[in-house]
Structure 1
Amino acid sequence: MYGQVPGHGQQEPSASQAYLATVQSRLTADGCETRWEDWAGVPVLVGRRADFRMSWMATRLHLFTVAAAVPEITVPAIEGFTEQVMKYAKDNKGGLPVGVQNGIGAFPLLVSDRVDPAAVHWAEAQQRIKFACMTRPVVVDSAQQYVGMYRGKPALGRVYASYFIQKGSQYFYGQ
């Protein structure tokens, strides 16, 4: 049974809404705080957790997962959403400034049944990095049941790569 997505009452959920409900339950099961926000009229799922590891050079990583169902996913759509999520994470992290023994990781996720293959390629190509903030955009094609995200180990932020791969698999692939 899927959890209820705000604004969708008792009607049968679309594949995109059902996927977001599943992601929310996976985030909650992993100990993330979750909530729904309204971003310019679009219901957005926000999940958050923070982890500290000595193996990360004694740093704390604040992980944000921000997900929304949209009518269509294009490269400009996922690129713009990734920028919004990065800014949101920096503005809402709290605590010490970014880069002072802590960093930000984010999964900006868009789901739709209409997806430009170029948007999937863009998400799978690389991790996006700005000072002490790493994002791994996720594009979900609910019609094809395909999840596209970068699963590699980049030079910058390599110490966190296994963590991102594990959390991405757990949250978006259900592994």
Structure 2
Amino acid sequence: MTDIELYKLLRPAVKTASGVPMVIQAVQNAPAPGGSYATIHVRTDIGERGMAFKDRKLLPDNETFEHTIRSQQEVTCTVEFYRARAKEYAANMLQLDKRDDIYWPLYKAGLCIMATGKVLDLTALQSDQYEERARVDIYLRMEVSRKYNINRIMEVTGTVQNEDGDDLQSVTVKA
């Protein structure tokens, strides 16, 4: 799942749960919108849970193995709220994993909400006035698959040498 796909899944969830009028993707180097809004910064932290699953299958060419590594990732996504009611919008995100209208669409897409972090007050001085800001993290668990191919070994040759380096015998085994 790409960062854009993850953002597109989280955007309606954040908007529904928080009640904020506008949600945009974070870190896009664009002017801030007017009024209250939230930004979603996906994958601010990525960890893993346990060991990955590894599968392999022989492809129809009968020479190539396709390996799939499926890792269980724990991903943090940061939601920041700006301007009026920022802390209230952030507090509405708490216990996000208990809302059926949010949990099931994400689960269907392969995401599991583990928890939400505490609300952090990030209120700051902006242009000689205080601007209310708040932040809350969403902790997700997801499976990420990576594939790669390796050709089968079709032939192996082994050679036995004496201590002087002279070949004594050579054998080739073909699959």
Decide: shared fold, TM above 0.5. Answer: no
Judging by fraction of residues, say which structure has more helix.
1
State which structure, 1 or 2, has the greater radius of gyration over its C-alpha atoms: 2
Judging by fraction of residues, say which structure has more strand.
2
Which one scores higher on RCO, CA 8 angstroms, separation ≥ 6? 2
